[in-house]
Amino acid sequence: MSRPAFVQPRAGTVSQVNKAARRLAQLRIELLSGAEFGPEKGRQAIADMGLVEGWRDMHAGPLRATSANLRHYIRPHSATSSANVSVTQRLKKFSTILDKLNRYPTMQLSRMEDVGGVRAILPSQDTADEVTRRLRKNWTVHRYRDYVRDPKPSGYRALHLIVVKKGVKIELQIRTALQDLWANQVELDSRYLHVDFKSGKGSELVHAYYLAMSEFFAMREASEEPPEKFMVDLTSRYRLAKPYLTSSQTRSDDGR
């Protein structure tokens, strides 16, 4: 379910927004299963969409401010580095919000901390650490997670900050180019092959390969030469994962 263009955002209480989002998340499941609904349910859905869209729009201004302020912090590195340094921003899509609520049935929209997200790509881990240190010193940081020294089980690596800007929470991801390459490839594979690898679904052989590639990139960024045994293992994991990354068989393994 995506928001129709004619739906107008409107304000509501936190309780109203949470209930509206939960009804829409349930309705999305029903529609994907082929269910139909009558005029009364349709009117309720339109009203709920307005409330959720109003909540989403509330993050737009703080998101722009966070992005602009972050550019100030990375500008010196942009001037001195020949590598690609960038800042991008995104407001979470309406349908993606509902999908996340369905993945986490106890979550409330008002507690979702990544409705607005900013991502910075920096030339090295040292630079990422320095920028993060300054942000933590000068910004209002609600939460900080270091997925570089303590990667996620999937192999995902980055620095995450939940910052408070103009009263709302914005997620900030700080990555190196190789960390971004890894994360984007997992997302691209998920989209192209219709398997949500990003959320841990699909063949375990694919996830074993992703994990090894994450370790390989980390070694390269640290200017470490991967051991021969590791490279043999990486090659083996790629061969085992390749059929699931290149054929329609992947679709049938979505729930594995």
Q: What gap in Å lies between CA 22 and CA 107, rounded to an integer? A: 9
87 CA to centre of own chain: 15
Q: What gap in Å lies between CA 109 and CA 52, rounded to an integer? A: 8
Q: What gap in Å lies between CA 120 and CA 190, rounded to an integer? A: 22
Q: What gap in Å lies between CA 13 and CA 16, rounded to an integer? A: 5
**Which residues face 159 on adjacent strands?**
146, 174
Radius of gyration of the chain (CA): 21
Q: Which amino acid is at 152?
A: K
Counting every residue written for the chain, the total comes to 256
| C-alpha count within 13 angstroms, C-beta hemisphere, residue 37 | 17
Q: First-to-last CA distance in the chain?
A: 26
Q: Which of 40, 171, 215, 224 is catalytic?
A: 171
224 is catalytic: no
> Catalytic residue numbers?
171
